[in-house]
Structure 1
Amino acid sequence: MICRRRFFLLTLCLCLLGLAACDSSDTAPLPLNLYECDAGEAAVRHVIGALPDLNPGVAKSYSIVLGEINRDGMTPASDAFTKRFEDLKLKFVNAQNLKDIEPNHTIADPETRLPAFVLQLRKLQPTSASTWEAEAGWSYKKEFERLKLSLEVKDGKTSVVKAEKLEGSAK
């Protein structure tokens, strides 16, 4: 009788652990193709809204990249995702078209040859059914900033509820 009870309790514990492992609120980062969602858009909009006014009066271009930027290059956001920002009336350039301008290796718009803001959605992960964490940032010439963002879905709208500067040269 005691062995059956122990067996039953052990089986129950293993089943509960198995269910916990299958929990849909897993905090692993999403694959890059899933960054182009409402939470990703809210994170990028927050970064755009917080950009400093560098080189006042000079026309600016913007480019959105997803994930890490490394020697192998960067993953450009899709044109469909970039179209979500049309209401901002900014000039967006697909990241694969950006040019490296010598001698300072400035990332520039290929049409104007002027420096471009590179907006990076580096990491995005759900933390619950209605909350997200993100790392996002920007660079312009030698200036840059990286932020940790907390996002929340409330009444169907995703917004940034907390932003913390992780690093950067911008003041």
Structure 2
Amino acid sequence: MTRRLLLISLCLGLAACDSSDTAALPLNLYECDAGEAALRHLITKLPDLNPGVAKSYAIVLGEINRDGMTPATDVFTGRFADLKLKFINAQNLKDIDPDHTIVDAETRLAAFVLQLRKLQSTSATTWDAEVGWSYKKEFGRLKLRIEVKDGKASVVSETTEAGN
């Protein structure tokens, strides 16, 4: 059984590396070096809203819709520990009235929701990504081009898609 799971995992990994694949990756494969590079870039672009007020950050994968959102795993979120920001699991977010502000359930302070909306391999060393953020009623969205050089994924271009 273990061998079968390993074989399936390897096949999925190889399929994700296929340069002819033009579809977005399954959400469970977003938690990779390219996904991390996209989110780190997004974090550097966040505006300084409510200066001096403590904030929490939550990472979600894929689309956010009426059915909810897919939180990143704690292992993936742990990759950002060096940033010294308070990351929480998106499952610990709460919607509070009257204006439906998304908050950290523990502190009841507004949280930045960081979204890795789409991740697509375009070749063996390049990726296209769509990322977004929201904080209270503010939001922004970027399209990114990510390239792997010398084993390190980094953003090589960005286009602002939306925001206020």
Partner of 2:47: 52
Partners of 2:126 and 2:41 in 1: how far apart? 16
Look up the SS of the partner of 1:40 in the other structure. Answer: helix
2:96 and 2:88 map into 1 onto residues whose CA distance is 16
Letter in 2 for 1:72: D
Pair 1:168 & 2:125 matched: no
- Are 2:121 and 1:106 equivalent residues in the alignment? no
Q: Secondary structure of the equivalent of 2:77? A: helix
| Runs of 5+ consecutive residues of structure 2 not aligned to the other structure | 1-16
Show the counterpart of 2:22: 27
Q: Which has the larger radius of gyration?
A: 1
Is residue 62 of structure 1 aligned with residue 57 of structure 2? yes
Q: Identify the structure with bigger relative contact order (alpha carbons < 8 Å, sequence gap 6+).
A: 2
Deviations 1:123-163 (A, max 9, x none): 00000000000000100000000100000000110000001
Q: Percent identity?
A: 78
Letter in 2 for 1:85: F
* Aligned length in residues: 147
User: Where do 1:144-163 residues align within 5 Å?
Assistant: 144-163=139-158
Alignment match, 2:132? 137
Residue ranges of structure 1 left out of the alignment (5+ in a row): 1-22
Question: Could you tell me which amino acid in structure 2 is paired with residue 24 of structure 1?
Answer: D
Distance 1:53 1:24 in 2: 39
Is residue 74 of structure 2 the alignment partner of residue 79 of structure 1? yes
SS of the counterpart of 1:85? Answer: helix
CA RMSD of aligned residues (A): 0.9
- Give the Cα–Cα distance (whole angstroms) in 1 for the partners of residues 134 and 63 of structure 2: 13
Q: Normalized against structure 2, the TM-score is what?
A: 0.88
